[in-house]
Amino acid sequence: MNKTIVLLLTLVCLSGCIFLPSLDLEKKWVEQFVTGDESSSDKILILPIQGVIMTQETSSLLSSKNACTPDKIQELLKLASDDVHVKAVILVINSPGGGVTASDIIYRTIKEFKAKYPDKPIIALMQDTAASGGYYISCSADYVMAHPTTITGSIGVISMFFALEDLMGKIGVETVVIKSGKAKDTGSPFRKMTDEEKTYMQKIIDEMYNRFLDIVAEARKNSLTRDEIKTLADGRILTGEEARKVKLVDSVGYMTDAYNKTLDLAHLKSAKVIRYQKSSGLFDNMFMGPMPSLELTYLAEMVLKTNSNQFMYLWTPSLVTSSDTK
C-alpha cells in the first residue's frame, strides 16, 4: 500500500512540475478517409470515445493527450454539423469510463446532436473496453454493437479516498486545518473519515448511481425493465457476448458489421467512413518510452488534486481492492 501511495505522489509531482506547452489550439482538423466507398459523397463519421473520460485535458508530461473530453466531442460534432454530407455517426468506444460529470456531458452532447439531426443515426461500436462511463455514453446511440471480446458493463459509481494520516505521522508531517464547518474537509486524505461522513458520501453515490440506472433504462427500454437492469448494475463486467445475452447491447460484430448496420439505418447504398484528425505536434513524439497507465495517472490527479472530481463512472480493476462500487 505504501509503495502505491509513493508512486501516486511521485506521478502527481511529476505531472505538476513538468509542463509542456501545447500547440493544439493552432492545429486544423483534417478529414481522413478510413474505409468504405471513397467515391461516395455521403459520409459516416467515426467519433472516438477513447481513453479516460475527463472534464479537461491536462498539459503535464504524464497525463495523456488522448483523453476523451466534452470539449473535444463538441468540437468534432460541430464539424459534423457543418458538413451536409455527414449522414451518420459511429461512436468507436474504447474507454474504462472516467468522471461522472464528463461522462454525462458527453452523453448529453450526443443526445442533443441526435435531437437536432434525427435522420442521422448514431451507432456505438465497442472495442477493447466500454465500461462504466464508456457504457454510459453508449446509451446515447440508436444501436449498440460490441466486439466479441469487448469488456463492458461495470455500471455503477465509485469514489476513492487515500488515508495518508498514518504515513504522514511516520515521516513527521502534521496537517493543520482551519475550516468554517465540520464537513468542510470531508474526504481529506490527512484524516480518517467519520461514519457520519461515509453515510453522507454514500447518499451522493446513490444519487449518481440512480441517474446511471435511469440513463440505461431509457436506452434499453425496449429490452429491459429498470429492475432487470438493477440486477446487472452491481459493478460487474461482461464480455460483448454476455452483454448481448442480457440485452445490454444489441449485437456483437466488427467494424464491417457496424458499417453495414449504419448504411441500413441511414438508408444509404454506400458511404465513405471518415474521421477528423489533427497532425502531430512538436512535442508529441519526444518521449517514446513506456508511460504509466492512463488510469493510474488520472486517479492520482483526481484524488490528490483539490480541483478534481472524485466521483467516477470508472472501471479500475488494477487499483480497486474493496467493494466500494454500488
134-173 tens-digit pLDDT: 999 999 999 999 999 999 999 999 988 777 777 777 888 8
Active site residues: 132, 184
User: Which of the four CATH numbers 3.40.50.1820, 3.20.20.140, 3.90.226.10, 3.40.50.300 does domain 2-314 have?
Assistant: 3.90.226.10
What's the pLDDT band for 325 if we cut at 50, 70, 90?
very low
The candidate with the shortest Cα–Cα distance to 294, out of 92, 125, 68, 106, is: 68
Hey, which residues does 31 pair with through a beta bridge? 276
What secondary structure letter does DSSP report for 158?
A: B
Nearest-10 Cα torsion for 116, 121, 274, 271? -120
| Cβ atoms < 10 Å from Cβ of 102 | 26
**Averaged pLDDT of the chain:** 83
Nearest-angstrom CA–CA distance, 258 and 317: 29
Q: Which residue type sits at 155?
A: I
Identify the pLDDT of residue 67.
Answer: 83
CB-facing half-sphere around the CA of 237: CA atoms within 13 A: 19
Identify the pLDDT of residue 324.
Answer: 40
Render pLDDT for 256-285 as a digit per residue (tens, 0 to 9): 999 999 999 999 999 999 999 987 655 554
- Residues 225-260, buried b or exposed e (16+ Cβ, 10 A)? eeeebbebbebebbbbebbbebebbbebbebeebbe
Identify the pLDDT of residue 142.
Answer: 98
Nearest-angstrom CA–CA distance, 262 and 255: 10
Q: Indicate the SS3 state at residue 194.
A: coil
Instruction: List the Cα angle 93/73/52 in 5-degree steps.
Output: 50
Instruction: List the Cα angle 163/5/184 in 5-degree steps.
Output: 35
Nearest-angstrom CA–CA distance, 229 and 216: 8
With cell 477493447, the residue in question is 128
Exposed / middle / buried, residue 288 (Cβ in 10 Å: 0-12, 13-18, 19+): exposed
Exposed / middle / buried, residue 83 (Cβ in 10 Å: 0-12, 13-18, 19+): middle
Identify the pLDDT of residue 33.
Answer: 96
Mean local confidence (pLDDT), 61-74: 75
Min mean pLDDT across 29-43, 143-157, 282-296 is at: 282-296
- Residues 4-34, buried b or exposed e (16+ Cβ, 10 A)? ebeebeebbebbeeeeeebeeeeeeeeeeeb
Indicate the pTM of the whole model: 0.81
* In contact, 243 and 150? CB cutoff 8 Å: yes
Hey, which residues does 19 pair with through a beta bridge? 60
* In contact, 150 and 129? CB cutoff 8 Å: yes
Pairing of strands 122-131, 151-153: parallel
Which cell goes with 24? 493544439
Min mean pLDDT across 145-149, 162-166, 181-185, 232-236 is at: 162-166
Identify the pLDDT of residue 105.
Answer: 98
Nearest-angstrom CA–CA distance, 213 and 295: 24
